[in-house]
Amino acid sequence: MFSLETGICQLFKIDYPIIQAGMAGGPTTVELVTEVSNAGGLGTLGAAYMTPEALRQAIKEIQSTTQKPFGVNIFAAPVEDDFSRLAEVQKALSPFRSQLEIQEIQSSYQSPDWSEEQFNICIEEGVPIISTAFGCLLAGQMKAAKERQIKIIAMVTTVAEAKQAEASGADVIVAQGSEAGGHRSSFSLDRHPAGAQIGTLSLVPQVVDAVDIPVIAAGGIVDARGLVASLALGAQGVQIGTCFVGSKESGAHRAYKQAIFNSDEESTVVTKSFSGRPARGIKNRFIEGFEQTGIAPLPFPSQNTITKDIRAAAAKADDPEFMSLWAGQSTRSLTEEVAAAEIVRTIIEEAKVMLS
Amino acid sequence: MFSLETGICQLFKIDYPIIQAGMAGGPTTVELVTEVSNAGGLGTLGAAYMTPEALRQAIKEIQSTTQKPFGVNIFAAPVEDDFSRLAEVQKALSPFRSQLEIQEIQSSYQSPDWSEEQFNICIEEGVPIISTAFGCLLAGQMKAAKERQIKIIAMVTTVAEAKQAEASGADVIVAQGSEAGGHRSSFSLDRHPAGAQIGTLSLVPQVVDAVDIPVIAAGGIVDARGLVASLALGAQGVQIGTCFVGSKESGAHRAYKQAIFNSDEESTVVTKSFSGRPARGIKNRFIEGFEQTGIAPLPFPSQNTITKDIRAAAAKADDPEFMSLWAGQSTRSLTEEVAAAEIVRTIIEEAKVMLS
């Protein structure tokens, strides 16, 4: 039969084939990352929305807390702002600002473009593993990583993207099935306007058959059954997101965690309303209200930039109806905060029983 | 570890936990059904679009060819025609008829309503297993089935539907993940206008946890990896459709089979264009053209009834661009016609190796 000691355990120098997803925007605290890594999985800092200063500081804190390997996740797509339809979209957003009792104060916007600096900081600080979403690293970045024996994980949503990532030099593929919470990692929104949505059970073996590098399954995995099923599909491990959003060490807002604990498999939708990129999250008044306007969001990351004040005000008001509640489709068994190390331990213990 | 001899093998008196999906509209010939059953799986006649006479004849032929158990699949939803928007939809369909060089000859339509008669024929002819889509059997039908020890399988797309099916008296649940080809089995299109689309890997364990009857996984399963993964998720077996559409014994049009062999995981979409109910099929000119009109299809089954001449003309012209090419998301490994018994044998042999 198949074993829990897969190739990625040797490659990443981890005990168990469990990768904590590098979710941007708050959930991946230093504590979460170190707890997962100390428990034998691969903790991952979701750095995409972090300032360079905050990222460097967090990496140093992780390194001072654990000797274990960890990852940093960044976006590998050029930042191309387009605010040409700003007035129209602001008008659509205005009822939400009214409900939250905030004013639209900015007249012009610019999205931060930190990904190159974030990558360089990872190199400078000796981060052992870098994972990417939305595309591949630039050739020069890949070369710099290889020279330092840094391992690169690329998240994909189709076989063609997996082949592209392998050709770019990635060491490991994360095959992101449609069940996954958060942003779809599809490389081209021209080709996949709503993100490619291939189910995990279907995507993983097709990617495994198409590339020669290890594949990690992502999307809908919350327990030992999902891990063992992923191994059966040919994956060498799993990436888990939503479970860790609800963990004790997660930095997610308590109302966000509670929304996950209250949700079921019918609760989520894929929406561009918050960021301009398709992402799976729990339906709420913001998503339903914005989509009802019929007004297209600005492209990513411009939409994300202009909705930031709304999400911040919702957090301040403890109001999940206007937060981005990214979550996957397997939330029924998530009902309360659990320590991250306990999540890793439980999955591994139960998987061992299943495989014995 | 888990075994290939699951509870459904005893319940259905079959050797292997592989159910051939009861696909309506042509693929499930008598030969396909008997070959699958003779190979140790459960062959299933897709009876939903069959006339009562044709159904009775097919059942008799199956029974005269094999002593093995088999199933018959019917729709468990009332036929409620609505042609109030007929003129508008006919106008949208008219370019397709022009391209196929056929005339819109009918001015009025009525969809056949055979499901009660089909059920009664199954009872009269001693069909051992009846499977349903779109809803549950009526209480009287369930009682009649139970009195005759006929086993009932209900296909669902959410946990709530699974509970409803269990409460109705179903013996077994098929949990249909979003990867599945053909019609989504969602019970309520008011609740799920595009059909519930929960990935198989996510849906199966949540259904398993919610009901006390055996669960069969469906959606994206084409090989031993899918079978073993499904068992890991807690299913007692798998239902396989697309694989058998491409089998030698399938009655699917050769152009339909070839479209499957040419397709990949990016090829399919969920559309209501052909039937009025959401169904997953390979994108073609009909789907793209009809959806571009922006005109909503008639409700099911009225849309199915008025597009029948188009599909028939496409079949006659060997033109897959205007056929309904129902297929799931795991078609990359399907590249040529394979005998149905060989499909069953290969999956079981490879699964035994995986589990040894």
Q: From start to end of B143-222, where are the E strands?
A: 151-156, 172-176, 182-183, 215-218
The per-residue pLDDT string of chain B (356 residues; one tens digit each, 9 = 90 and over) reads 689 999 999 999 999 999 999 999 999 999 999 999 999 999 999 999 999 999 999 999 999 999 999 999 999 998 999 999 999 999 999 999 999 999 977 778 999 999 999 999 999 999 999 999 999 999 999 999 999 999 999 999 999 999 999 999 999 999 999 999 999 999 999 999 999 999 999 999 999 999 999 999 999 999 999 999 999 999 999 999 999 999 999 999 999 999 999 999 999 999 999 999 999 999 999 999 999 999 999 999 999 999 999 999 999 999 999 999 999 999 999 999 999 999 999 999 999 999 98
**Helix B285-292 with B86-99: angle, nearest 10 deg:** 140
User: Do residue A200 and residue B197 have CB atoms under 8 angstroms apart?
Assistant: no
Residues 6+ apart with CB under 8 A from A1: A355, B1, B354, B355, B356
- Which of B163, B179, B202 to mutate to test binding with chain A, by most A CBs within 10 Å of its CB? B202
Q: Which of A158, A219, A266 is the closest to B158 by Cβ?
A: A266
Q: How far is A243 from chain B (nearest CA, A)?
A: 13
What one-character-per-residue DSSP string does B72-110 give?
EEEE-S------TTHHHHHHHHHHHHHHTT-----S---
**Helix A52-65 with A30-38: angle, nearest 10 deg:** 30
Q: Is A297 touching B (CB cutoff 8 A)?
A: no
Q: For the whole model, what pTM was predicted?
A: 0.97
**For residue A176, how many C-alpha atoms fall within 13 Å in the half-sphere facing its CB?**
27
User: Do residue B200 and residue A199 have CB atoms under 8 angstroms apart?
Assistant: yes
Could you read off the pLDDT of A153-183 as tens digits, one per residue? 999 999 999 999 999 999 999 999 999 999 9
Contact B265, A159 (CB under 8 A): yes
User: Do residue A206 and residue B232 have CB atoms under 8 angstroms apart?
Assistant: no
Q: What is the mean pLDDT of residues A252-258?
A: 98
Residues of B in contact with A335 (CB under 8 A): none
Residue pairs between chains A and B whose CB atoms are closer than 8 Å? 144
User: Do residue A201 and residue B206 have CB atoms under 8 angstroms apart?
Assistant: no
Give the burial string for B195-230 (b: 16+ CB within 10 Å, else e).
bbbbbbbbbbbbbbebbebbbbbbbbbbbbbbbbbb
Q: Is A219 touching B (CB cutoff 8 A)?
A: yes
Q: How far is B237 from chain A (nearest CA, A)?
A: 13
User: Do residue A196 and residue B266 have CB atoms under 8 angstroms apart?
Assistant: yes
Q: Is B2 touching A (CB cutoff 8 A)?
A: yes
Residue in chain A lying closest to B177 (CA): A199
Could you read off the pLDDT of A62-72 as tens digits, one per residue? 999 999 999 99
CA distance B251 to B31: 9
Residues of A in contact with B220 (CB under 8 A): 199, 201-202
Residues of B in contact with A192 (CB under 8 A): 266
User: ipTM score here?
Assistant: 0.97
Q: Which amino acid is at A272?
A: K
CA distance A155 to A71: 13
Residues of A in contact with B332 (CB under 8 A): 159, 206, 209-210
Q: Is B205 touching A (CB cutoff 8 A)?
A: yes
3-state secondary structure of B185: coil
Q: Which amino acid is at B75?
A: F
